[in-house]
Amino acid sequence: MNIARTSISKPIFTWLFILICLIGGIWSFFSLGRLEDPAFTIKTAAIVTQYPGASAEQVAREVSEPLESAIQKMAEVDEIISVNTPGQSLIEVEMKPEIKGDELKAIWTRLRAQISDATRGLPDGVSTPFVNDSFGDVFGMYFAVMGQGFDDRELHELATFLRRELLAVPGVADVTLAGLPEEAIYIEPNLALSANQNIPPQSIISAISQANSVVAAGEISDVLIQAPEGSDSVGDIASLSIGVSGRVIALTDVATVTRMRVDKPSSMIRFNGREAFTIGVAGLQSQNIVEVGKRVDQRLSELWADLPYGVEIESIYRQHSVVEDASNAFLVNLAMSVAIVVIVLALFMGWRAAVVVGSTLLLTVLGTLLVMKFFSIEMERISLGALIIAMGMLVDNAIVVAEGMQSAMRRGRNSLDAADEAASKTQIPLLGATVIGIMSFAAIGLSANATGEFLFSLFAVIGTSLLLSWVLAVTVTPLFGHYFFKQQEAGADDAYSGAVFRAYASVLRASLAGRWIVVPVLVLITVVSFAGFKQVKQQFFPDSNTPLFFVHYKLPQGADIKRTSADLQQVEAWLMERDDVVSVTAFAGDGASRFMLTYPIQRPNPSYGHLIVRTQSIDDIPELQLALEEFGTSHLIDGEFRTKRLVFGPGGGDPIQLRLSGPDPKVLRELGEDAARIMQANTDDFTGMRTNWHEQELVIKPDYATERAQTAGVTREEIAWTLRFATDGVPAGIYRDDERLIPIIVRAPKDTEYGLIDHMTGSQSNNAMMPLGQVINGFDYEIQDTLYHRRSRVPTLTVSADISLDKTPAAVHGDIQQAVEAMVLPTGYRMEWGGEYEDSGKAQRSLAQQLPVALLIMILISILLFNALRQPLIIWLLVPMAVTGVVIGLLSTGLPFSFTALLGLLSLSGMLIKNGIVLVEEIDIVRREGMALKEAIITASTSRFRPVVLAAATTILGMIPLLGDAFFVSMAVTIMAGLAFGSILTLIAAPVLYYLFFKRDEKHAPASGVAALNG
Q: Please report, for the domain that includes residue 69, its CATH number.
A: 3.30.70.1430
CB–CB of 621/645 below 8 Å?
A: yes
Give the chain's radius of gyration (CA, Å).
36
Kindly tell me the sign of the dihedral angle through the C-alpha atoms of 784, 786, 790, 796. Answer: negative
Dist. CA 294–CA 300, nearest whole Å? 10
| Same domain assignment for residues 233 and 128 | no
Q: Give the pLDDT band (50/70/90) at residue 1009.
A: very low
Last residue of a domain, one of 760, 784, 808: 784
Q: Give the pLDDT band (50/70/90) at residue 496.
A: low
Q: What DSSP assignment string belongs to 612-647?
A: EEEESSGGGHHHHHHHHHHHHHHH-TTSEEEEEE-B
Burial of 444 (C-beta count, 10 Å sphere; 0-12/13-18/19+): buried
| Same domain assignment for residues 365 and 472 | yes
> In this structure, is residue 972 part of a structural domain?
no
Q: Give the pLDDT band (50/70/90) at residue 495.
A: low
| Same domain assignment for residues 371 and 455 | yes
Least confident among 5-19, 105-119, 492-506, 791-805? 492-506
> In this structure, is residue 549 part of a structural domain?
no
User: Pairing state of beta strands 740-746 and 183-189?
Assistant: parallel
SS3 of residue 311 by DSSP: strand
| Same domain assignment for residues 50 and 3 | no
- Does 601 score more than 70 pLDDT? yes
The pTM for the full model equals: 0.80
Helix axes 621-635, 561-576, angle to 10 degrees: 130
> In this structure, is residue 121 part of a structural domain?
yes
Phi and psi at residue 512, in whole multiples of 5°?
A: -65, -40
> In this structure, is residue 205 part of a structural domain?
yes
Q: What DSSP assignment string belongs to 803-863?
A: E-TTS-HHHHHHHHHHHHHTPPPPTT-EEEE-HHHHHHHHHHHHHHHHHHHHHHHHHHHHH
- Does 214 score more than 50 pLDDT? no
Q: Give the pLDDT band (50/70/90) at residue 222.
A: low
Confidence (pLDDT) at 1008: 44
CATH of the domain at 711: 3.30.2090.10
Confidence (pLDDT) at 981: 87
- Does 216 score more than 60 pLDDT? no
**By C-alpha distance, which of 40, 9, 12, 4 is closest to 594?**
40
SS3 of residue 773 by DSSP: helix
The predicted-structure confidence for 98-127, as pLDDT tens digits, reads as follows 888 788 889 999 999 999 999 988 998 899
Q: Give the pLDDT band (50/70/90) at residue 750.
A: confident
**By C-alpha distance, which of 49, 85, 87 is closest to 692?**
85
Confidence (pLDDT) at 79: 92
Confidence (pLDDT) at 985: 79
Which domain covers residue 117, as residue numbers? 43-135
Confidence (pLDDT) at 820: 92
The predicted-structure confidence for 415-463, as pLDDT tens digits, reads as follows 888 888 888 888 888 888 888 888 878 877 777 667 677 778 888 898 9
Please report, rounded to a whole number, the percentage of residues in the chain having pLDDT higher than 70. 93
> In this structure, is residue 273 part of a structural domain?
no
SS3 of residue 260 by DSSP: strand
**By C-alpha distance, which of 375, 321, 382 is closest to 39?**
382
> How far from chain centre, in Å, is Cα 444?
16
Confidence (pLDDT) at 228: 47
Burial 462-473 (b: 16+ CB within 10 A, else e): bbbbbbbbbbbb
Q: Where are the alpha helices (DSSP H) in 636-699?
A: 665-682
| CA-to-CA dists, residue 19 to 22, 222, 511, 675, angstroms | 5, 67, 48, 66
Confidence (pLDDT) at 221: 46
Last residue of a domain, one of 485, 520, 545: 485
- Does 726 score more than 80 pLDDT? yes
The predicted-structure confidence for 904-958, as pLDDT tens digits, reads as follows 887 788 788 888 888 898 898 888 888 888 889 998 888 888 888 887 888 888 7
Confidence (pLDDT) at 176: 93
- Does 547 score more than 50 pLDDT? yes
Phi and psi at residue 160, in whole multiples of 5°?
A: -65, -40
Dist. CA 799–CA 679, nearest whole Å? 10
| Same domain assignment for residues 92 and 189 | no
The predicted-structure confidence for 753-784, as pLDDT tens digits, reads as follows 778 888 888 776 667 778 888 888 888 888 98
Last residue of a domain, one of 466, 485, 504: 485
> How far from chain centre, in Å, is Cα 105?
21
Q: What DSSP assignment string belongs to 365-426?
A: HHHHHHHHHHTT--B-HHHHHHHHHHHHHHHHHHHHHHHHHHHHHHTT--HHHHHHHHHHHH
> In this structure, is residue 410 part of a structural domain?
yes
**What is the DSSP code (8-state) at residue 499?**
H
Contacts of 752 (CB under 8 A, 6+ apart): 191
Query: Apex CA 582: angle with CA 576 and CA 583, to 5°?
Result: 65
SS3 of residue 655 by DSSP: coil
Q: How many helices (H) and strands (E) does the chain have?
A: 34, 31
Q: Give the pLDDT band (50/70/90) at residue 791.
A: very high
Phi and psi at residue 504, in whole multiples of 5°?
A: -65, -40
Dist. CA 167–CA 175, nearest whole Å? 6
Confidence (pLDDT) at 811: 83
Confidence (pLDDT) at 764: 67
| Same domain assignment for residues 47 and 25 | no
Q: Give the pLDDT band (50/70/90) at residue 1003.
A: low
- Does 1015 score more than 50 pLDDT? no
Mapping DSSP onto H, E and C, the string for 74-139 reads CCCEEEEEEEEECCEEEEEEEECCCCCHHHHHHHHHHHHHHHHHHHCCCCCCCCCCEEECCCCCCC
The predicted-structure confidence for 284-343, as pLDDT tens digits, reads as follows 877 778 889 999 999 999 998 888 888 999 999 998 888 888 777 777 877 787 788 788
The predicted-structure confidence for 819-841, as pLDDT tens digits, reads as follows 999 999 999 999 999 888 888 78
The predicted-structure confidence for 884-898, as pLDDT tens digits, reads as follows 889 999 898 888 888
- From its phi and psi, is residue 142 left (phi > 0), alpha (psi between -120 and 50) or beta? beta
Confidence (pLDDT) at 932: 87
Q: Give the pLDDT band (50/70/90) at residue 1012.
A: very low
E-assigned strands of 685-793?
A: 686-691, 697-704, 730-737, 740-746, 760-763, 768-771, 776-784, 788-791
| Same domain assignment for residues 249 and 375 | no
Dist. CA 344–CA 350, nearest whole Å? 9
Query: Apex CA 182: angle with CA 179 and CA 188, to 5°?
Result: 160
Q: Give the pLDDT band (50/70/90) at residue 520.
A: very high
Least confident among 152-161, 482-491, 717-726? 482-491
**What is the DSSP code (8-state) at residue 34?**
B
Confidence (pLDDT) at 107: 93
| Same domain assignment for residues 412 and 454 | yes
Q: Give the pLDDT band (50/70/90) at residue 227.
A: very low
| Same domain assignment for residues 369 and 466 | yes
- Does 220 score more than 60 pLDDT? no
| Same domain assignment for residues 20 and 53 | no
> In this structure, is residue 465 part of a structural domain?
yes
- Does 39 score more than 80 pLDDT? no
Contacts of 499 (CB under 8 A, 6+ apart): none
Query: Apex CA 602: angle with CA 158 and CA 82, to 5°?
Result: 125
CATH of the domain at 390: 1.20.1640.10
| Same domain assignment for residues 24 and 86 | no
| Same domain assignment for residues 110 and 209 | no
Dist. CA 908–CA 393, nearest whole Å? 10
Q: What is the average pLDDT score of the chain?
A: 85
The count of C-alpha atoms lying within 13 angstroms of the C-alpha of 211, restricted to the half-sphere facing its C-beta, is 25
> In this structure, is residue 731 part of a structural domain?
yes
Indicate the helix (H) or strand (E) that contains 21: helix 11-31
Number of separate domains in the chain: 3
Contacts of 307 (CB under 8 A, 6+ apart): 158
β-partners of residue 379 are 34
